[in-house]
């Protein structure tokens, strides 16, 4: 029972970290992927 309580507390503590990481890394990944795709399409059209 004690281990279950610890695991639940750990999950509750770690959730905000995953949310903040997703919010911070999400836009950065999109900014890196979108320009690369735009450049590829431009080169292909040329």
pLDDT of 36: 79
Query: How far apart are the C-alpha atoms of 41 and 46, rounded to whole Å?
Result: 9
What CA–CA distances, in Å, run from 9 to 18, 21, 32, 41, 45? 15, 19, 35, 47, 54
With a cut of 60, say whether residue 2 has pLDDT above it: no
pLDDT of 46: 65
* pTM for the model: 0.41
pLDDT of 4: 63
pLDDT of 41: 72
What CA–CA distances, in Å, run from 27 to 12, 20, 22, 31, 33? 24, 12, 9, 6, 10
Q: What is the pLDDT of residues 3-35, one digit of tens each?
A: 566 676 777 777 888 899 999 999 999 899 887
pLDDT of 24: 92
């Amino acid at each position: 029972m004690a281990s279950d309580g610890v695991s639940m507390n750990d999950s509750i503590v770690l959730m905000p970290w995953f949310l903040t990481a997703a919010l911070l890394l999400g836009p950065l990944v999109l900014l890196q992927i979108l320009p690369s795709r735009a450049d590829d399409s431009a080169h292909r059209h040329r």
